[in-house]
């Protein structure tokens, strides 16, 4: 009975691997993991659990593919487009809610509504791998809201930049090689949420006078960054997905207050954008070196 429980818990850990990989190798892996195990053991060893999770992340990132670098680049572009569009929609939704709260419904809807709808539609099209539809929607998200209202364009708002930054990623995805599959939808959503967490970190709380809040905010930032980097060390697509999201606030700051580009706050200053590009380059180099060793 205990081994049945242990096997069930190993099966849960193996869900970190893609479904097709589990279908082909699950029985083999379970036999290795459960063989020669004491009948009294009920939980997997923590090192095995960590290794299985990291192994699943590597496989999802293309580590078991014939061309892992191609998977990294093309799926990374898809995930980057998703992350940029999701961040733009999140910013737009927040600004729309604030505008409606303080300024009524008509003007905010005319300025924010079309962009929010088209950006969200483009996000769904990319997620569903409707590449041609996504390309059309992302271009429409640039043109239509600007033609309806000049407010977002004139003020260089971050949500206006979202489809602009995503457009080359989506259009490049039209030429994705046939042997590179799209990112799994569930995995793509999780990667997008992980990137959005970076932009929701309470970094501004680190400047508060209250030392207790400073310590709590610092703890949240360190834990979240540590978790993100731990996942990204196994799935380098996370780095490619995160890098262009820093461009939204950087473009906004560069157009409205160039001096603020010197800020070292995450998702605000130029150094953050440079760090994102460096991390993306590291992801590509690490994947190519791993492929060469294989």
Distance CA 110, CA 285 (A): 45
Answer yes or no: are the C-beta atoms of 122 and 86 closer than 8 Å.
no
Q: Which of 60, 91, 106 is the last residue of a domain?
A: 60
Quote the pTM value.
Answer: 0.83
Please, which residues have CB within 8 angstroms of residue 124's CB and are 6 or more apart in sequence?
Answer: none
Both 50 and 110 in one domain: the answer is no
250: left (phi over 0), alpha (psi -120 to 50) or beta: alpha
Provide the pLDDT for residue 255. Answer: 75
The two tokens of residue 17 are: 């691997």
Q: Exposed (0-12), middle (13-18) or buried (19+): which is 190, by Cβ within 10 Å?
A: middle
Total count of domains within the chain: 2
Provide the pLDDT for residue 134. Answer: 96
Domain holding 25, by residue range, is 2-60
CA distances from 108 to 112, 116, 153, 208, 248 (A): 6, 11, 14, 32, 21
Answer yes or no: are the C-beta atoms of 162 and 248 closer than 8 Å.
yes
Q: Which of 60, 76, 97 is the last residue of a domain?
A: 60
Both 49 and 119 in one domain: the answer is no
Q: Which of 20, 37, 60 is the last residue of a domain?
A: 60
Residue listed under structure tokens 């927040």: 94
Per-residue pLDDT of the chain (294 residues; tens, 9 = 90+): 456 787 888 888 888 888 888 888 888 888 777 776 666 777 888 888 888 888 888 888 887 777 888 888 899 999 999 999 999 999 988 888 887 777 666 667 777 889 999 999 999 999 999 999 999 999 999 999 999 988 888 888 889 999 999 999 999 999 999 889 999 998 899 999 988 888 887 766 677 778 888 888 888 878 887 888 888 888 888 888 988 888 887 787 777 766 655 554 444 555 566 666 676 676 667 666 665 655
Both 36 and 137 in one domain: the answer is no
Both 273 and 194 in one domain: the answer is yes
Both 95 and 7 in one domain: the answer is no
């Amino acid at each position: 009975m205990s081994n049945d429980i242990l096997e069930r818990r190993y099966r849960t850990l193996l869900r970190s691997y893609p479904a097709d990989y589990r279908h082909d190798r699950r029985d083999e892996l379970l036999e290795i993991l459960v063989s020669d195990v004491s009948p009294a053991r009920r939980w997997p060893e923590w090192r095995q659990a960590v290794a299985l999770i990291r192994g699943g992340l590597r496989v999802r990132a293309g580590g078991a593919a014939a061309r892992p670098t191609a998977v990294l680049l093309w799926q990374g572009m898809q995930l980057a487009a998703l992350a940029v569009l999701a961040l733009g929609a999140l910013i737009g939704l927040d600004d729309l809610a604030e505008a409606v709260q303080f300024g009524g419904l008509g003007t905010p809807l005319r300025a924010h509504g079309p962009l929010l709808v088209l950006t969200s539609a483009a996000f769904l099209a990319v997620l569903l791998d409707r590449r041609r539809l996504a390309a059309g929607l992302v271009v429409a998200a640039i043109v239509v809201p600007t033609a309806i209202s000049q407010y977002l364009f004139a003020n260089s708002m971050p949500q206006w930049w979202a489809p602009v930054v995503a457009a080359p990623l989506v259009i490049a995805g039209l030429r994705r090689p046939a042997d590179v599959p799209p990112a799994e939808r569930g995995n793509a959503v999780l990667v997008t949420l992980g990137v959005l967490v970076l932009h929701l970190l309470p970094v501004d709380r680190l400047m508060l006078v209250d030392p207790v809040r400073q310590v709590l905010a610092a703890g949240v930032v360190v834990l979240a960054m540590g978790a993100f980097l731990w996942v990204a060390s196994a799935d380098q697509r996370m780095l490619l997905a995160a890098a262009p999201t820093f461009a939204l606030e950087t473009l906004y700051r560069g157009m409205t207050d160039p001096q603020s580009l010197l800020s070292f706050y995450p998702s605000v200053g130029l150094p953050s954008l440079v760090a994102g590009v460096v991390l993306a380059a590291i992801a590509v180099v690490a994947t190519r070196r791993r492929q060469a060793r294989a």
